[in-house]
């Protein structure tokens, strides 16, 4: 049953609506996502930790929750904001409603607010601290105060909070067969908040994947005799992740092939000498055009990041490979003196277009070449 709820921003803006899920109080950075499908993948993406997601698509919850579309085992977002919340799903794969899933995860959604107005407000003023809560748990004045106290994602190392505590192996391929790999190559993936479909695509294209904690040392990884290193997506600011940056520097010196996505792209860039910055409202959606600088081809991509690499800070040994056609921000790099490259967006999609999954084949070629040496 819905309950009276509030969404309060740090600048004093307030929206009232119907709450679904758990009657609780959560804070985070409010962002907007323009994807028209895939809300289950989005809310279970660890990269959304400490964020409150505003869906610009007006109807959320229609297809319920199924057993196959999880990108992790739980909701990582601090809350979700929708125009119309569907509590009675209709889909042949649905195993439970979004409302039941929110309750199970002790999470909260707010519905019935003007999401166009909120999205415009974020675009004009930037992402900001936000409180989403049941009005039974907090007053409007306290909600604004909590939003102001959030402080933003700048300086937050959230990778260490979402990373796996125990190393594990992954051999499962992509939907719908989920075939186990028979490729005899070994990839070590650093989990900064890794999505399941990244693991599936790595397995299908490159081989068996050993997933390790974000703080695993260079020496411990080398004991696994990796043919390649993968740096995953994840939440928060890359700059405080010094443990990861120092390890990446060692892998670069060792000449082992490296592929980074999202946070992994930012960490690789910093390790190679570049700098990052906090974006005004970030890129979150599944309709972002990105251009390959060498070929001129344009790919429609899935994106989810609030930080970016400063293109003007790139040292001479880093080549720009991709640019966003929305704002000309840096989307891809490749090092010229060692086999390492990265992409800011999400080639694994989930949700979103799959055309830039060709980057996994590029990594495969690098790994196969290295394995022969």
- Annotated active-site positions, please? 262, 346, 348
**DSSP-assigned letters across all residues of 72-136:** SSS--SSEEE-SEE-SS---TT--B-HHHHHHHTT-EEEESS-HHHHHHHHHHH-SEEEEEEETT
**Cα–Cα distance measured from residue 350 to residue 306, given in angstroms and rounded to the nearest whole number:** 18
With vertex at residue 275, the alpha carbon angle to CA 327 and CA 309, rounded to the nearest 5 degrees, is 30
CA 345/CA 197 separation, integer angstroms: 14
Query: CA–CA separation, 74 vs 96, rounded Å?
Result: 14
CA 322 to CA 332: how far, in whole Å? 4
> In this structure, are residues 160 and 215 in contact, taking their beta carbons and an 8 Å threshold?
yes
Q: Which one, of 295, 269, 298, 306, lies nearest residue 356 by Cα?
A: 298
Bridge partners of 288, per DSSP, are 301
Q: Which residues contact 282 (CB under 8 A, 6 or more apart)?
A: 31, 127, 304, 305, 306, 307
């Amino acid at each position: 049953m819905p309950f009276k709820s509030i969404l309060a921003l740090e600048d004093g803006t307030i929206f009232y609506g119907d709450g679904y899920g758990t009657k609780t109080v959560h804070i985070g950075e409010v962002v907007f996502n323009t994807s028209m499908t895939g809300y289950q993948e989005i809310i279970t993406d660890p990269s959304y930790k400490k964020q409150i997601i505003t869906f610009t698509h007006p109807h959320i919850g229609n297809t319920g929750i199924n057993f196959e579309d999880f990108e992790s085992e739980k909701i990582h977002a601090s809350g979700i904001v929708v125009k119309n919340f569907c509590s009675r799903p209709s889909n042949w794969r649905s195993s439970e409603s979004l409302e039941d899933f929110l309750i199970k995860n002790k999470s909260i959604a707010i519905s019935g607010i003007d999401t166009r107005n909120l999205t415009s407000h974020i675009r004009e003023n930037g992402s900001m601290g936000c409180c989403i809560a049941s009005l039974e748990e907090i007053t409007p004045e306290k909600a604004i105060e909590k939003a102001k106290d959030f402080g933003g994602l700048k300086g937050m190392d959230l990778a260490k909070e979402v990373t796996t505590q125990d190393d594990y192996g992954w051999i499962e391929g992509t939907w719908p067969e989920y075939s186990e790999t028979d490729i005899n190559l070994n990839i070590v993936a650093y989990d900064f908040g890794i999505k399941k479909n990244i693991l599936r695509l790595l397995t299908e294209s490159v081989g068996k994947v050993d997933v390790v904690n974000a703080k695993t040392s260079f020496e411990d990884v080398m004991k696994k005799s990796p043919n390649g290193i993968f740096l995953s997506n994840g939440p928060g600011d890359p700059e405080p992740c010094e443990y990861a940056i120092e390890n990446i520097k060692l892998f670069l010196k060792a000449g082992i092939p490296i592929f980074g996505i999202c946070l992994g792209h930012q960490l690789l860039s910093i390790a190679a000498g570049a700098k990052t910055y906090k974006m005004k409202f970030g890129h979150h959606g599944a309709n972002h055009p990105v251009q390959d600088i060498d070929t001129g081809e344009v790919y429609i991509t899935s994106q989810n990041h609030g930080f970016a690499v400063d293109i003007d800070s790139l040292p001479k040994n880093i080549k720009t490979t991709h640019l966003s056609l929305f704002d000309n921000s840096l989307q891809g790099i490749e090092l010229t003196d060692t086999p390492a490259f990265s992409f800011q967006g999400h080639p694994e999609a989930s949700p979103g277009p799959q055309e830039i999954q060709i980057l996994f084949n590029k990594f495969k070629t690098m790994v196969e070449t290295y394995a022969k040496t």
